[in-house]
């Protein structure tokens, strides 16, 4: 993930910030593109997502490292309304621009595996699951109403399976 995010096209930090928000907050492309400067809450370390899928508002975590990157980006670009303005600065960056930035970063990072911008969101959920985060917490972070929707993102990773001990190991006297 580090190589992909570091390879985000420049000049400047705009696309690195955009892709990092997608991964760091587990956001959909449309949620990333519609963030406003005021949605970054550095006091509570949250990113506020207005009218995500289904028209729901929700908050996601803002990591300290992501906040540092966003502050660097803000000092460089001085966005006013939209956090990631498009070329006209009146409109937000388009999902198409964001997809092109992702594709370029993937190529520059030498990543051959199939991946889309949505892979950042999927990786966010998978990495949280691998770190033993409760699936219900992941559900809230992704803004899902139903746990079954979250379950599609959190396929059981091989690493996680290897870390689990069968309850049979605790049964005494059978072997």
The residues that are catalytic are 28, 53, 118, 121, 144, 153
Which are the contacts of 15, defined by CB distance < 8 A and separation ≥ 6?
8, 9, 98, 101, 104, 105
Instruction: Using DSSP, state whether 117 is helix, strand or coil.
Output: coil
CA atoms within 13 A on the CB side of 168: 3
Nearest to 61 by CA among 20, 101, 91, 98: 20
Please state, in angstroms and as integers, the Cα–Cα distance from residue 137 to each residue in 81, 144, 171, following that order.
30, 10, 32
Nearest to 120 by CA among 158, 145, 153: 153
Tell me how far the alpha carbon of residue 159 is from its chain's centroid: 21
């Amino acid at each position: 993930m580090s190589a992909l995010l570091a390879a985000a096209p420049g000049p400047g930090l705009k696309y690195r910030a955009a892709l990092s928000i997608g991964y760091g907050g587990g956001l959909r492309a449309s949620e990333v593109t519609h963030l406003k400067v005021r949605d970054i809450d550095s006091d509570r370390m949250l990113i506020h997502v207005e009218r995500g899928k289904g028209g729901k508002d929700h908050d996601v975590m803002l990591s300290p490292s992501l906040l540092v990157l966003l502050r660097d980006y803000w000092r460089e670009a001085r966005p006013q309304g939209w956090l990631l303005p498009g070329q006209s600065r009146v409109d937000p960056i388009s999902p198409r621009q964001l997809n092109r930035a992702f594709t370029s970063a993937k190529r520059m990072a030498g990543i051959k595996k199939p991946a889309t911008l949505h892979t950042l969101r999927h990786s966010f959920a998978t990495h949280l699951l691998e770190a033993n985060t409760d699936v219900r917490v992941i559900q809230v972070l992704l803004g899902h109403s139903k746990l079954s929707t979250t379950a599609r993102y959190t396929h059981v990773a091989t690493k996680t399976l290897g870390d689990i001990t069968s309850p049979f190991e605790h049964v005494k006297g059978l072997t």
